[in-house]
Amino acid sequence: MNQPLVLASTSPFRHALLTRLGLPFMTDSPQVDETRRPNEPPQVMVLRLAEAKANAAALRHPDAIIIGADQVACIDDLVLGKPGNREQAITQLERASGRTLVFQTGLCLLNAITGRTQTLVEPFHVHFRPLTRRRIEAYLDREQPYDCAGSFKSEGLGIALFARLEGDDPSALIGLPLIRLITLLESEGLDPLGGNESTTS
């Protein structure tokens, strides 16, 4: 029996990424407290939240294979969340100017029937150009990326802010590392290319 696939996220960016694989899936909105715990390292936080989202969705989809994901942007030990408004976005981009942001994306694939959980954290480095206040404001005028961690949309004009990108999985920057996810899905018998080499009997 084919198990349904559920994305435990209402992010339009993650939805668009998963659609690229051509696998039918549903979305679920997990109600999870995303507050960072005291002194919690970013890698630990995103992994914990990815698992929490998958487990929350499993309560409503007990027969499904569930994808949970969470992401933060960091400069050193400082976690940059979604700015929410223009002033905070200016502050974040001024802080990022000429520096490197590390995006940590936690990924969890949960088979709700067997209880098997696969998790990983995928890092991605964004090296920023030196940014003047004028360029920052011009960018924000164009895209208003106030719902994006780090205050930019890499799939849009945000690319103009970067000097260099560094990482194994470019889709991780947008919030769902597809290269790594495909490997996890194949281990559960879900192959986007329709083969069966990776399935088990």
Contact yes or no for 78/116 (Cβ under 8 A): no
Nearest to 185 by CA among 48, 10, 22, 11: 22
Please state whether 43 falls in left (phi above 0), alpha (psi between -120 and 50) or beta.
alpha
Catalytic residue among 33, 63, 70, 169: 70
Please state whether 11 falls in left (phi above 0), alpha (psi between -120 and 50) or beta.
beta
Count CA atoms within 13 Å of residue 1 on its CB side: 6
| Length, in residues, of the chain | 201
Tell me the residue type at 44: V
Alpha helices in 20-75 (DSSP H): 42-58
Reduce the DSSP state of residue 133 to 3 states and report it.
helix
The Cα–Cα gap between 192 and 39 comes to 39
Nearest to 129 by CA among 158, 149, 151: 158
Q: Is 191 a catalytic residue?
A: no
Residues assigned a catalytic role: 70
